[in-house]
């Protein structure tokens, strides 16, 4: 999340212990900082406190999962109630039905739903469903697209100029050492926002590609937005070529009451979900039209796709997910939209007044100050921005924001319903001070 953290003695001691029992002291690499991570102690509302006693506004919200921030009373109440009633069991519970009913009532593509334990699992099961329905094994994904910790969909997550190949026909590049070539051979890479090249690739591989997956809001959780006409092209081509279109809305479902598909008016065949649908608990979900979800059905004997799991649809995640999502009414989304726009307007004014090179992007509760001159349209332009010092600037900005009591995600501001106008005002004041300090470096 950042590359430099101030020395904190309590966290340093914890990190020394961690290094004895975990490789390099970490369980998730996205939390790596130098010289060590800062350890959390407690949190309430939109504020998180570390073991040094420093209290900051949490704009990461566990990578967007905590749409209500921390310790939302309705959620802590259901946790307390459910944990004393039923934590997990082989038998299903009514909470599973209630959460599925809620999702199918608001997400356009979701006529039926199945539950998993993470967004990664949701993507894995989506790929299996796409293969079973289409009868074709290969998938297509965007160059630079992130879809969790799955070696198939990790392909070409972070290729480099030395291995990414032609702009109009990108190579399939393994992300993790040791990934078999047989895995990357099953992935066809599409250039984001290049309609004609992507269309040509899909048509040329129509006999082999059965599933196309894309996050309809952002590439790599932040910088690049798929153009609407690009999404419409994918919808048109997948229907014509017998492919299953999957939207990975694990991150982007929080963009509106109906998810990004509802916001942008393009409906996929299947939708992978996670994060906010769990109310803060681990969860994954796969929803889709009945026709496509039928691959899981037992009506004719064995299903085409077998799916289960020890903690799948566990009552704790189902209960917290239902309560958390029930609180996300159209009015709640509208208030997040209002606060998000106030933040974006404030960021634009500060950047303009200070002459900061960059622009502000965002929708609803998702916002970022992009310290790069022009909007970034695809992964290769993102790499070019990085080579021009984009990430270096963001890392300095991140550290200065920490000193202003703001915990962000690389200059990204992910809002929660716990935030108020006062919190936005506090944030804008801190951003102004951080950028002023940055200019003086």
CA–CA distance, 230 with 196 (Å, rounded to integer): 9
Pairing of strands 138-142, 209-214: parallel
Q: How many CB atoms lie within 10 A of CB 362?
A: 21
Q: Which of 254, 251, 291, 237 is nearest to 269 (CA)?
A: 291
Task: Mark whether 52 and 90 lie in a shared domain.
Answer: no
The reply to whether 107 and 139 lie within a common domain is yes
Task: Tell me if 4 is assigned to some domain.
Answer: no
* Per-residue model confidence as pLDDT tens for the chain (441 residues): 444 445 689 999 999 999 999 999 999 887 888 889 999 999 999 999 999 999 999 999 999 999 999 999 999 999 999 999 999 999 999 999 999 999 999 999 999 999 999 999 999 999 999 999 999 999 999 999 999 999 999 999 999 999 999 999 999 999 999 999 999 999 999 999 999 999 999 999 999 999 999 999 988 655 689 999 999 999 999 999 999 999 999 999 999 999 999 999 999 999 999 999 999 999 999 999 999 999 999 987 889 999 999 999 999 999 999 999 999 999 999 999 999 999 999 999 999 999 999 899 999 999 999 998 888 999 999 999 989 888 889 999 999 999 999 999 878 999 999 999 999 999 999 999 999 999 998
What would the two tokens of residue 9 be? Answer: 């003695």
Residues 257 and 237 in one domain: yes
Indicate the pTM of the whole model: 0.95
Looking at the structure, tell me whether residues 385 and 424 fall in a common domain.
yes
Domain stop point among 326, 361, 381? 326
Same domain, 158 and 299: yes
Task: Please state the domain count of the chain.
Answer: 2
Backbone φ/ψ region at 64: left (φ over 0), alpha (ψ -120 to 50), beta: left
User: For the chain, how many residues are written?
Assistant: 441
Contacts of 105 (CB under 8 A, 6+ apart): none
Token digits for 175? 């992300």
Are 47 and 56 spatial neighbours (Cβ–Cβ below 8 Å)? yes
- Answer for the pair 366, 64: CB distance below 8 angstroms, yes or no: yes
Q: Which residues contact 53 (CB under 8 A, 6 or more apart)?
A: none
Other beta carbons within 10 Å of 265: 12
In angstroms, the CA 148 to CA 167 distance is 24
C-alpha 226/C-alpha 218 separation (Å) is 7
Same domain, yes or no: 127 and 159: yes
Task: Give the whole-angstrom CA distance, residue 278 versus residue 117.
Answer: 9
Q: Is residue 97 part of a domain?
A: yes
Residues 47 and 177 in one domain: no
Instruction: Reduce the DSSP state of residue 298 to 3 states and report it.
Output: coil
**Do 230 and 111 belong together in one domain?**
yes
404 and 309, same domain (yes or no): no
Same-domain status, 223 and 114 = yes
Same domain, 263 and 199: yes
Domain boundary at 302, 326, 350, which? 326
Q: Which domain holds residue 359?
A: 9-71+329-440
Q: Is residue 3 part of a domain?
A: no
* Claim to verify: residue 320 and residue 302 sit in the same structural domain: yes
- 255: DSSP letter: G
Task: Specify burial of residue 332 (Cβ count, 10 A radius: 0-12, 13-18, 19+).
Answer: middle
């Amino acid at each position: 999340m950042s590359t430099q953290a101030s020395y904190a003695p309590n966290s340093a001691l914890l990190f020394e212990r961690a290094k004895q029992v975990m490789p390099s002291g970490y369980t998730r690499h996205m939390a790596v900082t130098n010289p060590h991570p800062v350890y959390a102690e407690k949190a309430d509302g939109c504020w998180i406190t570390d073991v040094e006693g420093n209290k900051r506004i949490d704009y990461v919200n566990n990578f967007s999962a905590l749409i209500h921030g921390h310790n939302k009373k309705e959620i802590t109440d259901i946790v307390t109630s459910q944990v004393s009633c039923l934590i997990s069991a082989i038998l299903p519970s009514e909470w599973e039905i209630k959460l599925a009913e809620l999702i199918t009532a608001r997400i356009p593509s979701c006529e039926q739903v199945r539950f998993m334990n993470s967004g990664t699992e949701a993507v894995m099961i989506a790929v299996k469903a796409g293969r079973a329905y289409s009868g074709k094994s290969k998938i297509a994904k965007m160059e630079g697209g992130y879809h969790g910790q799955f070696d198939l969909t990790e392909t070409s997550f972070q290729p480099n100029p030395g291995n990414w190949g032609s702009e109009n026909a990108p190579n399939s590049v393994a992300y993790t050492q040791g990934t078999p070539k047989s895995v990357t051979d099953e992935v066809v890479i599409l250039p984001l926002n290049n309609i004609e090249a992507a269309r040509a690739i899909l048509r040329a591989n129509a006999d082999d590609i059965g599933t196309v997956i894309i996050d309809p809001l952002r590439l790599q959780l932040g910088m690049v937005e798929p153009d609407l006409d690009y999404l419409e092209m994918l919808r048109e081509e997948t229907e014509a070529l017998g492919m299953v279109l999957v939207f990975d809305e694990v991150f982007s479902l929080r963009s509106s009451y109906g998810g990004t598909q509802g916001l942008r008016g393009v409906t996929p065949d299947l939708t992978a979900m996670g994060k906010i649908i769990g109310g803060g608990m681990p969860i994954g979900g796969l929803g889709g039209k009945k026709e496509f979800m039928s691959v899981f059905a037992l009506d004719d004997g064995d299903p085409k796709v077998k799916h289960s799991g020890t903690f799948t649809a566990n009552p704790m995640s189902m209960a917290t997910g239902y309560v958390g999502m029930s609180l996300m009414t159209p009015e709640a989304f509208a208030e997040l939209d209002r606060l998000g726009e106030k933040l974006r307007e404030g960021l634009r004014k500060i950047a303009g007044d200070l002459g900061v090179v960059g622009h502000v992007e965002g929708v609803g509760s998702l916002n970022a100050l992009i310290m790069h001159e022009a909007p970034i349209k695809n992964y290769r332009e993102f790499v070019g921005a990085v080579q021009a010092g984009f990430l270096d600037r963001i890392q300095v900005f991140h550290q200065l924001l920490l000193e202003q009591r703001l915990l962000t995600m690389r200059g990204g501001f992910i809002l929660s319903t716990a935030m108020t106008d006062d919190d936005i005002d506090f944030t804008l004041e801190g951003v102004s001070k951080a950028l002023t300090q940055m200019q003086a470096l």
